[in-house]
Amino acid sequence: GAVVSQHPSWVICKSGTSVKIECRSLDFQATTMFWYRQFPKQSLMLMATSNEGSKATYEQGVEKDKFLINHASLTLSTLTVTSAHPEDSSFYICSANGLAGAGNEQFFGPGTRLTVL
């Protein structure tokens, strides 16, 4: 149980284009989803917290107009990197908290590697 999927697993795009990454909880309903970014050999950095049906809460220094988050249902959250630039190349990972019964654990997706040329 508690499986989180991400799509795509990797994407290469040209500078200036937008990229959408999906995060799905497959076997549970996620009240809250989190989006992280991880640069090589570094830890995970929280970008934003997303609650179903409401606006995401962004961490300090994360541009909300650049990283658009939509959490339209209890099983799906999307992150859109708008007008991507090479410095946005990174490993993007989502995680999800379940409804009552899943405790306080966050279950992570497999990540999406974004390369912006």
Partner 1 sequence: GQQLNQSPQSMFIQEGEDVSMNCTSSSIFNTWLWYKQDPGEGPVLLIALYKAGELTSNGRLTAQFGITRKDSFLNISASIPSDVGIYFCAGLDQGAQKLVFGQGTRLTINP
Shortest Å, Cβ 74 to partner 1: 16
- Total binding residues toward partner 1, as defined by CB under 8 A: 23
Structure tokens that stand for 72 in this block? 């339209």
* Burial degree of 2 (CB within 10 A; 0-12, 13-18, 19+): middle
**Binds partner 1 (CB under 8 A): choice among 50, 78, 90, 95:** 95
Could you give the CA distance from residue 32 to residue 99 in angstroms, rounded to a whole number?
A: 9
- Closest CB to partner 1 among 38 and 82? 38
- Least distance from partner 1 to the Cβ atom of residue 2, Å: 8
